[in-house]
Structure 1
């Protein structure tokens, strides 16, 4: 890799990549701790709903107060300091910003931010994988048409998985499966913010004292976040979800090649070329040996006697046939690694993963029997979880995307475990995020019909 050398050259020329960050939460704060250590990058602005909170985040990760006193983005660009403010769209429009990072996690806001970047010619790094799962394929198409780069965020697992898939394919291997690890049991799909902490082994009192958001943490536990992230991977790589969605088979790193191969060859996959998430616990709750809870993986095939021999000669762990093997990365560093995306976009005009097609969708699915008149509370809440589905199946059932399943009222009852449909809820057809998502459904449904 040459990114650091290229950044040093930019620093020497006095022409750093000028960055604007939207959202100074946990992910954003982790990136803030690193950008000040990286040559050739200048954090011109931070836009947050609460500028005082954002300044507190900057100081907490080591920024001196003197660096945060810029009165405007122009002042920050001139003096090499940072302007902290609450006007996101002014920052996107500013001539002093080259790359925008959306670290909000808010789907509707993410759509608006990308479209503004298209209007003003700003590259965008989408930490906001929730927006990507809702409408990423059309957002990325709009970005390409506008001549800007739309990129998944390195450090988040989807971009790391995309990198591994690209490595395997570039080396001439067929990718059989790709995904990540998590802690999963089937009963977690019914978990709510009121029941989440015992599953993590944390007392509610300790969680409250630590400022931990139960709905956010629950979105990781109930399977929603895994579905969102695997939809992003499917849409960026062309790997397809299984018809039944994610199975979450228990699997350790030594068994990746054995488990993550097609069922026709003795594994757990529906087909070659699949996204799948593996569990760090057995179905009876016992820990999986050498689990991959924090990591990512790819399995790939040899498919020739010569390559299978090479697998043996170089000590790769394979399945019993010797044809399937795996590579994995045991950890991901979240916002601490985000600078890789910023550098790739700012120096090479290359994304670290981006949607190319619409293969996977995340559909709101009832956690319990829901009654007409109830209001859905979205990701990680009390009413629905996100289930990964092939996009064609989501279109066929008229599934309500998880990213729009917040604050809408049910007009009819939905049984536990069943998808919520557009026709089940009262929604505002003129809301910008709804209109954009419906446009994506029309655009890509036509493409699927043409492909047939």
Structure 2
């Protein structure tokens, strides 16, 4: 992000720093705190986690002395801690989102309803909100963005998350006037629609990850949600339900991502996709209508045309989030946001045979996985969004494995913030 280092350095030289409030001190949150501790002009002044020991440990791992970590639920004590150059550990997320001494709130919980509530609280308190919670974003991001715009604050996804990394490539190519054919990401592991916390347990233990989170990657839900966010930000759509999931190397992408009539594999242009074999990278497939441009692209060895691949071979997850924080604070601009409302929907698909009266569990659980659909198809089927799935949703009829759940198939038994925001969005 050009020039952000100089802005942060100048800010610190003035004796100032961006005050960050973080919700969620798991793997993503811990990494972000440690990264920011090594930066200029920014500090995580308050962090909340339902397990407050996670917050204490995250600050310690970042090199903050224990005597500078204040554990409290009182606003006045937290404000005083910031004034004294200390940090605060909370167990209640709302306390961080409403804290007067916080400039930017970051949600790193990964739980859709929690993320929706955090974003809502941050916007009500006129604070910029950075979402490392793509599941919440694709479910109620459009209405949250409108509310944030009205409040004069920034609602944004994060740099380092794959949608943010894809968006950077898109903005680069689009600004230069290239025609963007497709946007995509690599998938790190083979698609396993039956993955669940039990099947993922051993690998999760080896990686120090949550079995449920790992299962959501393996069963494809996370990939569907991430490309859903890109679709809503760019106006692109999936080429087919569930996307293709091609297997390819980077060198093969430009040929695959052409229309079928031209020897490729696509039905349409302007699509989102995922590919096995190019992880952990992200890509944009571009072309030009100008022969002189083609000649120069070939001269710089981007390929033989007519399509070319822009490829970024890495994304640093929450370690890049501070750049989004800084962009929101200084420039009042998002890294990625739902500029096109809903272009697609990640819908709940039965992972097993579901019985009438059974309750769903959660994303990455045993009951459902996510499938990406174009908006018109999802709306026509009254398909049930994956972001609304939780343990309070009851199945009202027998649903076969592989079948898409609809609103008519389920009953919401307990009110929640994300359901209320979704109804507001649909109005």
TM-score bracket for this pair, using the shorter chain length: over 0.9
Q: State the alpha-carbon separation in 1 of the partners of residues 107 and 134 from structure 2.
A: 9
Structure 1 match to 2:263: 266
Is residue 335 of structure 2 the alignment partner of residue 316 of structure 1? no
Is residue 297 of structure 2 the alignment partner of residue 293 of structure 1? no
Structure 1 match to 2:245: 248
Distance 1:15-1:278 versus aligned 2 partners, 3 A rule: same
Distance 1:185-1:209 versus aligned 2 partners, 3 A rule: closer
Distance 1:435-1:172 versus aligned 2 partners, 3 A rule: same
Deviation at 1:416, TM superposition (A): 2.0
Distance 1:368-1:276 versus aligned 2 partners, 3 A rule: same
Structure 1 match to 2:334: 351
Structure 2 match to 1:37: 38
- The aligned runs of 1:169-248 (5 Å cut-off) are 169-183=174-188, 185=190, 188-196=192-200, 204=202, 207-208=204-205, 211-248=208-245
Q: State the alpha-carbon separation in 2 of the partners of residues 358 and 305 from structure 1.
A: 35
Q: State the alpha-carbon separation in 2 of the partners of residues 32 and 270 from structure 1.
A: 44
Distance 1:315-1:211 versus aligned 2 partners, 3 A rule: closer
The C-alpha deviation readout for 1:206-256, integer Å capped at 9, x for no partner, is 744664322210100110000110111111111112232311100111111
The C-alpha deviation readout for 1:308-364, integer Å capped at 9, x for no partner, is 21222221124xxx2100111111111111111011111111111111121011100
Q: TM-score, normalised by structure 2?
A: 0.94
* 8 Å Cα contact 1:177/1:272 also seen in 2: yes
* 8 Å Cα contact 2:37/2:62 also seen in 1: no
The C-alpha deviation readout for 1:394-422, integer Å capped at 9, x for no partner, is 11111111111221221111222221011
Structure 2 match to 1:26: 27
* 8 Å Cα contact 1:359/1:391 also seen in 2: yes
* 8 Å Cα contact 1:184/1:223 also seen in 2: no
> Any stretches of 5+ residues in structure 1 without a counterpart?
198-203, 281-291, 443-452
The C-alpha deviation readout for 1:74-101, integer Å capped at 9, x for no partner, is 1222112211112322222222111000
Deviates more, 1:308-317 or 1:346-355: 308-317
Is the partner of 1:69 in helix, strand or coil? strand
Q: 1:410 aligns with which of 395, 403, 420?
A: 395
Q: State the alpha-carbon separation in 2 of the partners of residues 190 and 210 from structure 1.
A: 20
Q: State the alpha-carbon separation in 2 of the partners of residues 62 and 260 from structure 1.
A: 47
Distance 1:56-1:399 versus aligned 2 partners, 3 A rule: same
Deviates more, 1:208-217 or 1:419-428: 208-217
Structure 2 match to 1:92: 97
* 8 Å Cα contact 1:395/1:441 also seen in 2: no
Q: State the alpha-carbon separation in 2 of the partners of residues 435 and 121 from structure 1.
A: 20
Is residue 383 of structure 2 the alignment partner of residue 382 of structure 1? no
Is the partner of 1:377 in helix, strand or coil? coil
Structure 2 match to 1:146: 151
Structure 1 match to 2:410: 425
Structure 1 match to 2:109: 104
Structure 2 match to 1:278: 275
Distance 1:271-1:429 versus aligned 2 partners, 3 A rule: farther
Structure 1 match to 2:315: 332
Deviation at 1:376, TM superposition (A): 1.3
Is the partner of 1:389 in helix, strand or coil? strand
Q: State the alpha-carbon separation in 2 of the partners of residues 66 and 167 from structure 1.
A: 45
> Any stretches of 5+ residues in structure 2 without a counterpart?
none
Q: State the alpha-carbon separation in 2 of the partners of residues 209 and 271 from structure 1.
A: 41
Deviates more, 1:375-384 or 1:222-231: 375-384
* 8 Å Cα contact 1:303/1:323 also seen in 2: no
Aligned residues: 420
Is the partner of 2:353 in helix, strand or coil? coil
- The aligned runs of 1:154-173 (5 Å cut-off) are 154-173=159-178
Q: State the alpha-carbon separation in 1 of the partners of residues 115 and 188 from structure 2.
A: 28
Deviation at 1:196, TM superposition (A): 3.1
Deviation at 1:63, TM superposition (A): 2.8
* 8 Å Cα contact 2:188/2:280 also seen in 1: no
Is the partner of 2:129 in helix, strand or coil? strand
Q: State the alpha-carbon separation in 2 of the partners of residues 210 and 259 from structure 1.
A: 33
Q: TM-score, normalised by structure 1?
A: 0.89
Q: 1:434 aligns with which of 419, 422, 426?
A: 419
Distance 1:241-1:74 versus aligned 2 partners, 3 A rule: same
* 8 Å Cα contact 1:428/1:434 also seen in 2: no
Deviation at 1:57, TM superposition (A): 2.2
Structure 1 match to 2:381: 397
Structure 2 match to 1:304: 290
Structure 2 match to 1:287: none
* 8 Å Cα contact 2:346/2:385 also seen in 1: yes
Q: State the alpha-carbon separation in 1 of the partners of residues 379 and 204 from structure 2.
A: 39
